[in-house]
Amino acid sequence: MLAVLLLAVLPVHAADYRIDPARSHAAFGVRLLWLTQVTGRFEQINGDVTLSSLHDTAVVDAQIAVDSIQMSSDRFRRWVLAPEFFDVAHYPAIHFVSDPISLAKLEKGGELGGTLTLRGVTRPAHFELLPSSCPLSAPQDCVISVRGTIQRSDFGMNGHHTAVSDRVDLGMSISLDYAKR
**Do 56 and 100 meet the contact criterion of CB atoms below 8 Å apart?**
no
Residue pLDDT, tens place only, 1-16: 333 333 333 343 444 7
Please state, in angstroms and rounded to a whole number, the distance separating the CA atoms of residues 86 and 118: 8
pLDDT for position 49: 87
Residue pLDDT, tens place only, 59-99: 999 999 999 999 999 998 998 999 989 999 999 999 999 99
Average pLDDT estimate for 26-55: 89
Among 81, 80, 132, 87, CA closest to 106 = 132
Q: Is the pLDDT of residue 162 over 90?
A: no
Q: Is the pLDDT of residue 154 over 60?
A: yes
pLDDT for position 176: 86
Q: Quote the Cα angle for 162-79-128, to 5°.
A: 75
Highest mean pLDDT among 52-56, 120-124, 141-145: 120-124
Q: Is 112 exposed, middle or buried (0-12, 13-18, 19+ CB in 10 A)?
A: buried
DSSP 110-177: EEEEEEEEETTEEEEEEEEEPP-S--TTS---EEEEEEEEEEGGGGT--TTTTTEEEEEEEEEEEEEE
Q: Give me the residues paired with residue 143 across strands.
A: 175
Q: Which residue type does 4 have?
A: V
pLDDT for position 96: 95
| Distinct helix (H) and strand (E) counts, the chain | 3, 12
15-24, 39-48, 163-172: least confident range: 15-24
Q: Is the pLDDT of residue 115 over 90?
A: yes
pLDDT for position 138: 58
Q: Is the pLDDT of residue 166 over 60?
A: yes
Please state, in angstroms and rounded to a whole number, the distance separating the CA atoms of residues 153 and 126: 16
pLDDT for position 169: 94
pLDDT for position 105: 86
Q: Return the higher-pLDDT residue of 137 and 113.
A: 113
pLDDT for position 137: 55
Backbone angles phi, psi at 155, to 5 degrees: -115, 20
